[in-house]
Amino acid sequence: MKAVNTDKAPNAAGPYSQAIVANGFVFCSGQVGINPETKTIGETIEEQAHQVIKNLKAVIEAAGSTLDQVVKTNIYLTNVSDFAKVNEIYSEYFKDHKPARATVGVADLPKGKLSISPLIEMEAVALIK
């Protein structure tokens, strides 16, 4: 088992790793739409959804894999009416390759020191190439 850490994605905000590599898989912790360079979060679901996937991509690549190797994602939305917008953005990153997925509506997501509450969180499991 090996922990993954990259400065191309936000640091873990608690006692967990950005991801763990084990038995040929990378298990990514949930990412929110924090830009790792500016430490800020977008105001819209579109901005946050793009950044969430960019963050997951960075973690997955740091683990030695790619988005094309993702086998499962879980998406958590604070507003289920954003489902269609998120699907549209998700489809830009997962065009021909469509991982298994669950999407869940949640009451809230941890804000931490952010000025704006996250609207989306996503986690992923990928094969190591």
Q: What is the pTM of this model?
A: 0.95
Give the mean pLDDT of 40-47.
96
Please, what's the b/e burial string for 11-32 (b: 16 or more CB within 10 A of its CB; e: otherwise)? Answer: eeeeeebbbbbeeebbbbbbbb
What percentage of residues in the chain have a pLDDT greater than 90? 91
Which residue has tokens 């549209």?
88
pLDDT > 90? residue 116: no
What pLDDT band is residue 38 in, cutting at 50, 70 and 90? Answer: very high
Give the mean pLDDT of 95-107.
96
Closest by alpha carbon to 6, among 48, 71, 50, 65? 65
Q: Count of domains in the chain?
A: 1
Cα angle, residue 44 at apex, residues 120 and 97 outer, rounded to 5°: 55
The pLDDT value given to residue 99:
98
- The pLDDT tens digits for 52-63 are 999 999 999 999
Range of the domain at 96: 2-127
What pLDDT band is residue 107 in, cutting at 50, 70 and 90? Answer: very high
The pLDDT value given to residue 87:
98
| CATH number of the domain that residue 95 is part of | 3.30.1330.40
